[in-house]
A and B are shown apart, each in its own frame.
Chain A
Amino acid sequence: DSGVTQTPKHLITATGQRVTLRCSPRSGDLSVYWYQQSLDQGLQFLIHYYNGEERAKGNILERFSAQQFPDLHSELNLSSLELGDSALYFCASSVHEGGYTEAFFGQGTRLTVV
């Protein structure tokens, strides 16, 4: 158990809908990262939050947004869903930014858009 909790584990929804994925980082970790794993694109970085502030954005679509709350949990919001958004979405957390910090991954949320 990495200590990072993601909910839900599985999600099936229809095209055009909106979903929210939740991530609770390890106790004491200030950084949260979101990654998308799909068959065609592999594992891709979406966004990084540190202590409530957005730090970096990767290949995140405009239909997607995220935030990190004062209690440090994070949510990834996906809207106007398309079939191609079907993927495994990982959250990872680490202690701090700067230098090497080991990222601990949650078990992921499997999103299926039908």
Chain B
Amino acid sequence: AQTVTQSQPEMSVQEAETVTLSCTYDTSENNYYLFWYKQPPSRQMILVIRQEAYKQQNATENRFSVNFQKAAKSFSLKISDSQLGDTAMYFCASQGGSEKLVFGKGTKLTVNP
């Protein structure tokens, strides 16, 4: 069984600063994928970034990057140069061979002007 844990229910950051959201996971799968999804007030689930577990290089998408520590089963999201539009719920998720996504409880991020 897969589990995903996000230990920070809420976080806040000042505009233009950097913030890191934490995520740990557990899985018995050999091949799996990890994701960060963003859910703004519009409630749309938006894929922010993904990481293939077999790749050692950390994924990067513009201002978003991850720190993937496979041995520690840790997958944190760093948001650089935070913008007001980054205010949202952020969900960490894992996907194994069964293809279903297993989500953490989410972190509510507020970017303050």
- CB nearest to A41 among chain B residues: B105
Chain A hits for B99, CB < 8 A: 31, 33, 48, 55-56, 94, 97-98, 101
Report B24-67 residues with CB < 8 Å from chain A CB: 31, 33, 42-47, 50, 52
With A100-B33, A100-B52, A100-B95: A45-B100 Cβ-Cβ less than 8 Å: yes
Q: Please state if A56 and B100 are interface contacts (CB–CB under 8 Å).
A: yes
Q: Contact at B43–A107, with CB atoms within 8 Å?
A: yes
> How many residues of A are in contact with the other chain, CB < 8 A?
27
Say which size band chain B's interface belongs to. Answer: 20 to 34
Query: Among A43, A56, A88, which residue has its beta carbon within 8 angstroms of that of B103?
Result: A43
Given contacts A102-B50, A105-B44, A107-B42, contact A42 B104 (CB under 8 A): yes
Does A58 touch B at the CB level, under 8 Å? yes
In the complex, what residues of A have CB within 8 A of residue B44's CB? 2, 105, 107-108
Closest to B42 in A: A107
Point out residues on A near B: beta carbons under 8 Å: 2, 31, 33, 35, 42-45, 48, 55-56, 58, 88, 90, 92, 94, 97-103, 105, 107-108, 110
